[in-house]
Chains A and B, each alone.
Chain A
C-alpha cells in the first residue's frame, strides 16, 4: 500500500512537490493545523515520495522499489522517525542529540536524509534547545519535518527556524465524502455531519471518534458533567471517568461545551452552537450560571489544555476542573 496524501491535501501536496522538484524546499518544515487534519499523513506521504527511487508523476512513492520496502518495514537508513515512546510522554534530549549525529553522516541510498518529529511540542526543554543547533545549520541534504497542532507551545527560536505549512480546515463536502467512504457507507449522512461537527471539522478526528464509540461515551460524560453542576453527581467520581478519556480530548470537549454555554448565555435566540445534540441539557444549565464565572472556567480549561501533553497527572487535573465546575453552580445561587 503506497502512502498518498488525503483528498483535501492536494493543493498543499502539489505545492510541496513542485518546490521539491525545483530544489527550493527549505531544510525544515513545520506542519501546523488542528488535530485530525492529516498533518502526519501528508508528512509520511511526502517522506515516502522524496525517498522513493521511482516516484510516480504526481510525486507519490511507487511502493515497490527497495527504498519503499525499507520505508514500509520502518528500517530505511536515511529516515529518522521520532515520536514519544508512549503517547503523552516527552521526547528526551538524547534522542534529539542522535539527530545531529545522524545528519552528520552522509545518506545511504539517496542524497537526502529526513528527520520526522511528531509532535514537535513533545520535545522537552533540553531536547528543543539541542535541536536548535541542528535546525540552524543542517547539512545540505537534510530535511526536518516537525508536526505540531499547538505551535504556540514550541520555542519561538524553533518556530523561526522552520518554514510553516499551515493546514487549513478541509471543505465540508470533501470531508463528508471521504468519511462516508472510510466508514463504508455504513452510517447515515446526518451522523457523518454530526461526527464532523463534534470534531471541529477534522475528518481523521471524526473517524477516530466513530471508531472508538466516542459518541456514546461523550453522552455519558455529558450527563455526568451536567449532573455535577446540578449537584446530583460527585465531582471526584466524574473526574475519574473523564480522566480515562485522556486530558487532550477531555479538555477539547469541555472547552467546546463551555463555549457553547457562553454563547447560549450571551446570545439571542436562536443561538448557533457547536454541540447541537447537547442543546437541551446545556440550555437547562444556563439559567444558574454567571457569564463572568464561565469565562474564568474556560480560561482554567485552556490553561489545563496547555499542559495536557506534558507530565500532568490526568486524574488530579480533572479533579481540579470538576471541583471548580461544581462550585460554579454554588456561586450562581
Chain B
C-alpha cells in the first residue's frame, strides 16, 4: 500500500470521521481507523460499534493495500503539518508499520490486523429510498432536541423515523414533551416502516449533512440504517424496541387557540424563567382576552411576571409548564408567528408554527 495526498484532502474527511472514535477505548482496534486503498480511491472507516463512518477520497497512482492505523495520531500529524504539504503514506507489510512522510518529517505508526476490525458487512436492505440532504437535516434538527437522555425506557433515547406511503416523519419524545416533523417524499413502502436511530447516531449524522438538495441514499435493514452521501457512508445500529404510539399523545380537541409573535413570547419566557425553580423550571401561564401572562417564582419567594399581548379570545385559563420545554419548542420554530393550542389545565399544549402543520410540538402541563 502506497499513496500520496494533499494535506487538506486528507485532513477534512479524517476530522469528520474521527468524531466517532471514542477517546477511552477498551478495545485497542477501535481507536484505529481502517484504511483501504484501491487504484484510484482511499477509503477510511471509523467505528465505535454503534456508529460507523466511511470517508472516501479520490487518489492518483496509488498502490492498493489495506491496514488499520491509530486514528487520533494520524489526525494530529496531519493537522500539525504545514498547509499545502504533500503526504506520502506507505505500508511496510513485513514490519507491519506505516510510514507517513511529508517534506522532511517522517512518522512511523503501528498497525493492527484488519481482520480484528469490526466493520459492518454489506447490509441486507429491506427498504431503500432517497431524500434530499437538506430535508433529512431539517427533519432531524427540528425534532432531535426532544430525545430522552439515558432513560431506562431505552427506546426513547433515539429518534423515530417513520416511512409510510408518500410521507417521511421524524418523532422524538422523552415522555414529557414530543417533537414531530413530517415531510412529503416519493416513497412507497409495503407497510409503514418504523426505525429508531440511537442518540449518538443522530448527533453524528446531522454533522455530516449539508444544506444542499443533493440526495442521500438511505438503506434500512433489520439491524442497521445506512446513509450514503457523496463522499461519506454512514451506518448506525438501530435501537431494539417499539416506539410508543405517539399519535395518541397529540391532543385532538383543543378549544383554545392562541397566536403570538414567536420572538416576543420567547424573550418574555426567557426573562421570566430566571426566577423559576432551578430544578423544576415551573412557569404559570394565565390566558385572558388578548393577554398571556407568564409568572414564575422560586423557593426564595422571588417572583417574575410579564404580560404579553397575544391574539386570543376565549375562556380564561391558568396552566403550568416546564419553561425549558416551551423554550425548546419555540427555538425549533422557524416562523415569526406561533400558535398554541390548549384544552383545560390538565391537557397538553400543542405548539406549531402558524400556518405550517409539518412541525408539531406537544408539551405536557405541570401541576404547580
| Chain A residues near B (Cβ < 8 Å) | 66, 69-70, 73-77, 100-101, 103-109, 111, 133, 139-141
Q: Among the listed B29, B50, B116, B152, which residue makes an inter-chain contact with A105, where contact means beta carbons less than 8 Å apart?
A: B50
For window 112-134 of chain B, which residues contact chain A by CB distance below 8 Å? 113, 115-118, 120-121
Q: Are B240 and A103 closer than 8 Å at their CB atoms? A: yes
Q: Does B223 contact A (CB under 8 A)?
A: yes
Q: Are A108 and B49 closer than 8 Å at their CB atoms? A: yes
Instruction: List, in ascending order, chain B residues with CB within 8 A of A73's CB.
Output: 29, 113, 115-116
Query: How big is the B interface, by class?
Result: 20 to 34
CB-based nearest A residue for B153: A104
Q: Are B238 and A106 closer than 8 Å at their CB atoms? A: yes
Instruction: List, in ascending order, chain A residues with CB within 8 A of B113's CB.
Output: 73
Q: Does B30 contact A (CB under 8 A)?
A: yes
Interface of B, helix, strand, loop or mixed by DSSP: loop
B113 CB to closest chain A CB, in angstroms? 7
The 9 closest A-B pairs by CB, nearest first: A73-B116, A104-B154, A106-B223, A77-B49, A69-B115, A105-B237, A139-B240, A77-B118, A106-B240
The complex places the Cα of A304 from the Cα of B237 at a distance, in Å, of: 46
The complex places the Cα of A129 from the Cα of B268 at a distance, in Å, of: 45
The complex places the Cα of A111 from the Cα of B238 at a distance, in Å, of: 12
B127 CB to closest chain A CB, in angstroms? 16
The complex places the Cα of A76 from the Cα of B241 at a distance, in Å, of: 22
The complex places the Cα of A108 from the Cα of B118 at a distance, in Å, of: 9
CB-based nearest A residue for B155: A104
The complex places the Cα of A106 from the Cα of B27 at a distance, in Å, of: 20
B357 CB to closest chain A CB, in angstroms? 32
Q: Are B117 and A105 closer than 8 Å at their CB atoms? A: no
The complex places the Cα of A74 from the Cα of B224 at a distance, in Å, of: 22
The complex places the Cα of A70 from the Cα of B157 at a distance, in Å, of: 28
B5 CB to closest chain A CB, in angstroms? 28
CB-based nearest A residue for B47: A77
Q: Are A108 and B237 closer than 8 Å at their CB atoms? A: yes
A59 CB to closest chain B CB, in angstroms? 23
Q: Are A76 and B118 closer than 8 Å at their CB atoms? A: yes
Instruction: List, in ascending order, chain A residues with CB within 8 A of B240's CB.
Output: 103-106, 139-141
The complex places the Cα of A69 from the Cα of B118 at a distance, in Å, of: 10
The complex places the Cα of A107 from the Cα of B50 at a distance, in Å, of: 9
CB-based nearest A residue for B29: A75
